[in-house]
Amino acid sequence: EALMSLYKLFWDEFSSWYLEMAKPAYQQPIDKKTYEATLGFFDSLLRLLHPFMPFITEELWQALAERKAGESIMVSEMPKEVSFSNDLIDTFEKVKEVIAGVRTIRLQKNIPNKEELSLEVIGQYNTDFDTVISKMGNLTSINTVAEKDPTSVSFLVGTTEFSVPLGNNIDIEAELKRLNDELKYLEGFLKSVAAKLSNEKFVANAKPEIVENERKKQADAESKIKTIKESIANLNK
């Protein structure tokens, strides 16, 4: 059951992110290389899922390509293990956070997905996946700036700040209320983490990774509080 849940999570994650990246522009054909790679990925996933979902995976596998008489997923080889890059996976996890941040702003501000936005970045940033971020966030541009737009809504990915200028799309009064509510929550959260870390008994007896995790929580909260205070100051100008 646990393994099946893991496969299902992988399937959901793959299908939602990969298919959206591979999807061609509106009314445009998909290129052959992307199409064949997509079929290859699905072939591997279906073979992995087959022991747990035999009938539907057989049906889908047969539809992916022309099969010989009697050919079945039941007797096809499992995908072979290949090398992979943890750095690439970690980088793409950050890319997903950026896209999720932009989409959260759209949701919070009721901005339709069809409306193009721009993204500003303050801090170190890997531009290798800008094309993916622009496509999945429907962005006209991604620019590194020294100061963010006063009307922008920001979010952090690690220690890098991203912001979406909203112009006339922002309700300044409502945004200030949201920021102040979030600031109040984070200050309370930071106080509780700081109290835990100042407890010598906790630091001495807890596992090193637990203590390190609490320190990371503290640093993240401090960084977010700084960003929120800057946003409040900009909106109050």
Picking from 57, 166, 61, the residue whose alpha carbon sits closest to that of residue 111 is 166
* φ, ψ at 158 (rounded to 5°): 65, -125
Cβ contacts of 14 within 8 Å, gap of 6 or more: 41, 45
Q: Per residue of the chain (237 residues), what is the pLDDT tens digit?
A: 555 565 555 556 556 676 777 777 777 888 888 888 888 888 988 898 888 888 988 999 999 999 999 899 999 998 888 888 888 888 888 999 999 999 999 988 888 888 899 999 998 888 999 998 999 899 999 999 988 888 888 898 988 999 999 877 777 788 889 889 999 999 999 999 999 999 999 999 999 999 999 999 999 899 889 888 988 887 777
DSSP lists the bridge partners of residue 160 as: 157
pLDDT at 5: 61
C-alpha distance from residue 150 to each of 170, 214, 226, 228 (Å) = 10, 32, 15, 12
The conformation of residue 97, written as its DSSP 8-state character, comes to H
pLDDT at 120: 95
CA dist 146 and 5 (Å) reads 44
Amino acid at the residue 44: S
CA dist 23 and 135 (Å) reads 10
What are 46-49's contacts with CB under 8 Å, separation 24+? 46/73, 47/73, 47/76, 47/77, 47/78, 47/79, 48/7, 48/78, 48/79, 49/7, 49/11
